[in-house]
Amino acid sequence: EPEVTQTPSHQVTQMGQEVILRCVPISNHLYFYWYRQILGQKVEFLVSFYNNEISEKSEIFDDQFSVERPDGSNFTLKIRSTKLEDSAMYFCASRAISGLAVYEQYFGPGTRLTVT
């Protein structure tokens, strides 16, 4: 069964550094998402992406964040200048869509980002 993959599984970076988290969604999916989960807190929506543009973003997704689909397979989340409070597990998700049908979101295993 196809799966969403994410790399790296764990990223440690210093405050102020740029990080890029990578995701490979399931190949025939058209909607892509990033969520994050700070330790001990709920999973929070960051951004959704469809047809090569952001379709929705949360208040968390400020100018420090950006997403990109640089080729036909990867979907990346960039944080330009990391802060301590960016430390979290970041989940990528993707889903298919066909006509009016809405399908479930499939999640990747997550990237644990630690900002020191």
Partner 1 sequence: AQRVTQPEKLLSVFKGAPVELKCNYSYSGSPELFWYVQYSRQRLQLLLRHISRESIKGFTADLNKGETSFHLKKPFAQEEDSAMYYCALSGYGNKLVFGAGTILRVKS
Question: Binding residue for partner 1 (CB under 8 A) from 23, 26, 33, 65?
Answer: 33
| Interatomic CA distance for residues 104 and 116, integer angstroms | 35
Q: What residues from 4 to 23 belong to the interface with partner 1 (CB under 8 A)?
A: 4
Q: Is 70 left (phi over 0), alpha (psi -120 to 50) or beta?
A: alpha
Question: Binding residue for partner 1 (CB under 8 A) from 105, 111, 113, 115?
Answer: 105
| Interatomic CA distance for residues 88 and 7, integer angstroms | 15
Which range in 13-21, 39-47, 59-67, 78-86 contacts partner 1 by CB under 8 A? 39-47
